[in-house]
Structure 1
Amino acid sequence: MVFTRYSGIFTPAELTLLQTVFDTLCKERRLALKDKDQRDDLAREVIQRFESGYSNEDDLLQSLSKRRRTNVQSSAANP
């Protein structure tokens, strides 16, 4: 499985994960289908994070989500 990530070939499960994260972030950022350039940039970011080791949905979302990062930082600062 590790080799598939770096060869640019993804398993069906990995594609499902990447699509789910992408769709969630599009909704969060309110990116419409017509926002092609922004959606392309986001897709590239999701794949790059996945290839750099963020291999589950929660980690990917947290690393790319501005809202989630803010909430985690706020929670850490206010125990």
Structure 2
Amino acid sequence: MSVSRSSGVYWPADLDMLQRVFDRLCNERRLAKKDREQRAFLATELFQLFHDGTTDESDLLRTLSKRRRA
């Protein structure tokens, strides 16, 4: 289990993975850096999903990609 799930501490590997997922989803959704509100919402969704136990990179991508299409 990742430490972040219980203590709010994120390991560098967790942050690297979350950044990759975030960057890929921003690219997929064509969110520019100026789209701050949408990017902040995406980041919040990503961290919440991770905190709730979805810690696999491909699962995070799949789940958040589906949310956009829904």
TM-score (norm 2): 0.86
CA RMSD, Structure 1 to Structure 2 (Å): 1.9
Aligned length in residues = 69
User: Which amino acid counterpart does residue 17 of structure 2 have in structure 1?
Assistant: L
TM-score (norm 1): 0.77
> Structure 1 regions of 5+ residues with no counterpart?
71-79
Asked which structure has the greater CA Rg, the reply is 1
**Of the two structures, which has the highest relative contact order with CA contacts closer than 8 Å and spacing of 6 or more?**
2
> Structure 2 regions of 5+ residues with no counterpart?
none
Identity of aligned residues (%): 55
The equivalent residue for 1:75 is: none
Deviant stretches of 4+, over 6 Å: none
